[in-house]
Structure 1
Amino acid sequence: MAASDAAVVPATTSPSPAPTGWLKAHATFYGGADASDTMGGACGYGNLFTQGYGTRTAALSTVLFNDGASCGQCYKIACDRKRADPMFCRPGVTVTVTATNFCPPNLALPEGGWCNQQRPHFDMAQPAWEKIGVYGGGIIPVMYQRVPCVKRGGVRFTINGHDYFNLVLVTNVAAAGSIRSMDVKTSNSTGWTRMARNWGANWHSLAYLTGQALSFRVIDTDGQTIEFANVVSQGWKFGQTFASGLQFK
């Protein structure tokens, strides 16, 4: 990994802070007790252990996933004792998870099942779910709220793709956790080029960027903007990851 300085610049739009109240949802779990089979997912993070997300992760239903715009967001979740069977609820405990995957609706079931388009639902990695629920319950009503993400180290950029199709995975984002928009600038240009969300936390550019030093301008979903100046060093290769020296606050 390479490191670079970055600059915080004023947001171009008014911030939209995460909701502070508790909201109702339901939660299930998937994967095994070690969460080894929950790797990958619709956000594109790959190995969740090496990326630093571990087992505190969840797949979101359609209404929460928002076509990938929620990738990286963090949620505090507690079993809802007012609605849950007490024998399947762990009282007084919360767990914070990161959105790393999508829980699709099951169109073979009435109304699309638990992860239908309108129902807020968390399909959590089993170790995270068992912090708040008892295994035999299978599904529990929960209360949740979006919270700031706490991360160690800087934002990371992994470059994949090929010439004229650069796919940049953005990981380890603190605060909002998720990205609203992203621009790129090369060492050979003076202006910014808008990137597009390709899928999940992956953003693409169709410009020729190969080998040039790259800067990124990133706006998170709460409206904070950071410019990562020359975060990708000249002569980079596809598959490399570069870490910034700055984080969202």
Structure 2
Amino acid sequence: MAPVRVSAVVLLALGCALAVATADVTTTAPSSPSPAPTGWLRADATFYGGADASGTMGGACGYGNLYAQGYGSRTTALSTVLFNDGASCGQCYKIACDRKTDPTWCKPGVTVTVTATNFCPPNWELPNGGWCNTTRPHFDMAQPAWEKIGVYSGGNIPVIYQRVPCVRRGGVRFTINGHDYFNLVLVSNVAAAGSIKSMEVKASDSNDWMPMARNWGANWHSLSYLTGKMLSFRVTITDGQTLEFTNVVPPGWTFGITIASNLQFN
């Protein structure tokens, strides 16, 4: 989470941010001078992870080293209502500081696009669970991304945001961990919707697609014995697109392997 400021001027800024509507952000809150632009929703945003974003590595989506995975420092943790138990992992959001609500800590005329890679949990030591309470839309962004739109000393700023398609280089990647009868597959570098709706696996010695289940974040599991077999995956993302990655995992693979496919969603 972003550091807490105690100066009077910052407490004033935090008060303005906390006044933003949370239950239905398309409805004009009493403290808001005008509704958000069409297609945009209201939230607020803090930052974490340090100036180099090193503190953002890992996270509740399971991507691990975000630089190695290609996500870099344009990432965010999501509050409960946005994270959706991990179903939002990989989604992309365009975010701007909401100058109409409070211009004090905003950098004008800029937006930043970030990928959801982590979860911002409620802090029940604070009233109502704090900034990332269960019903409030909130982005806890990597510091370099947040500073594209906000002034550092603000700490917490009102923002407007919208879902946007993800742009990725190269194909979808699969990392297989686990052990015999428990195959845990991390799916990363997903373009378009970015998030996965369903996933299936087929071994080379079978004609049947077997459904996989979301285990946590962007990790999906199968309880079948697949060790060392050539594998295909069928992935459906949340905008409805489906791709089949035929024989994408070679025979003789071992746990810990990462496969970069040649296919990508558009």
Q: CA separation in 2, counterparts of 1:29 and 1:83?
A: 19
Residue of structure 2 equivalent to 1:92? 109
After superposition, what is the alpha-carbon deviation per residue over 1:36-57, rounded to whole angstroms, capped at 9, x for unaligned? Answer: 1110000000000000000000
Verify: 1:27 aligned to 2:45, yes or no: yes
Q: CA separation in 1, counterparts of 2:50 and 2:134?
A: 26
Residue of structure 1 equivalent to 2:62? 44
Verify: 1:198 aligned to 2:226, yes or no: no
Identity of counterpart residues, as a percentage?
A: 81
Matched residue type, 1:122: F
Q: CA separation in 1, counterparts of 2:249 and 2:51?
A: 38
Q: CA separation in 2, counterparts of 1:217 and 1:36?
A: 33
Structure ID, larger Rg: 2
Offset at residue 181 of structure 1 (A): 0.5
Residue of structure 2 equivalent to 1:162? 179
2:73 aligned residue (55, 75, 78): 55
Matched residue type, 1:189: S
Q: CA separation in 2, counterparts of 1:242 and 1:38?
A: 24
1:180 aligned residue (197, 207, 212): 197
Residue of structure 2 equivalent to 1:229? 246
Residue of structure 1 equivalent to 2:95? 77
Instruction: List runs of 5+ in structure 1 lacking aligned partners.
Output: 1-19
Consecutive aligned runs of 4 or more in structure 1 exceeding 6 Å deviation: none
RMSD in angstroms over aligned alpha carbons?
0.8
SS in 2 for 1:45: coil
SS in 1 for 2:104: helix
1:105 aligned residue (100, 119, 122): 122
Offset at residue 157 of structure 1 (A): 0.2
Offset at residue 68 of structure 1 (A): 0.2
Q: CA separation in 2, counterparts of 1:82 and 1:229?
A: 50
Moved more, 228-237 or 107-116: 107-116
Q: CA separation in 1, counterparts of 2:155 and 2:169?
A: 33
Higher relative contact order (CA closer than 8 Å, sequence separation 6+):
1
Residue of structure 2 equivalent to 1:131? 148
Residue of structure 2 equivalent to 1:207? 224
Residue of structure 2 equivalent to 1:121? 138
Matched residue type, 1:127: P
Residue of structure 2 equivalent to 1:5? none
Instruction: List runs of 5+ in structure 2 lacking aligned partners.
Output: 1-37
Offset at residue 227 of structure 1 (A): 0.7
Residue of structure 2 equivalent to 1:66? 84
Offset at residue 64 of structure 1 (A): 0.2
SS in 2 for 1:88: coil
SS in 1 for 2:168: coil
Q: CA separation in 2, counterparts of 1:114 and 1:81?
A: 19
Offset at residue 136 of structure 1 (A): 0.3
After superposition, what is the alpha-carbon deviation per residue over 1:185-217, rounded to whole angstroms, capped at 9, x for unaligned? Answer: 000000010100000000000000001000000
Offset at residue 87 of structure 1 (A): 3.2
Q: CA separation in 2, counterparts of 1:172 and 1:235?
A: 24
